Amino acid sequence: MSDAKTLARRWIEVWGNDDPESLPLAEGFVHTSPFGRIEGRARYLEVVKPLAEANVARLHIKDVIAEGDKACVAFTMDTPSGPVACCDWVTVAGSEIVSVESHYDSRNLPNFESY
């Protein structure tokens, strides 16, 4: 299994286990989603951790496809408003995640806000 595939799977599993502090995110980590863009590991965890704690009940991995330093992980996010289909593009460098582009329909996530 490639590093990208392993880290993409870990990206979802760690959030599912409520342990985001253990994510192997690069200091310059960049996250983009329908809610905006966040730069920096510390800032990302500061903003997203409380949103996830309040709004995400479970994550279910459907599939992970990887090649080289990139992976795509398809999963379902269980929220108070119901399940949301998601797809994250994960880019890695060595043993760290350097960026994630999250794709999902945000209209069913009324408790989230732009960042």
Neighbouring C-beta atoms of residue 76, cutoff 10 Å: 15
d(CA 25, CA 95): 9
Contact (Cβ atoms closer than 8 angstroms) between residue 102 and residue 31:
yes
CATH topology for the 3-103 domain: Nuclear Transport Factor 2; Chain: A, (3.10.450)
Please give the residue that has the higher pLDDT: either 107 or 98.
Answer: 98
DSSP-derived 3-state class of residue 1: coil
**Closest Cα partner for 40 from 5, 114, 106, 48?**
48
**Residue range 53-105, pLDDT digits in tens:** 888 889 999 999 999 999 999 999 998 888 999 999 999 999 999 999 999 98
Sequence ranges of the domains in the chain: 3-103
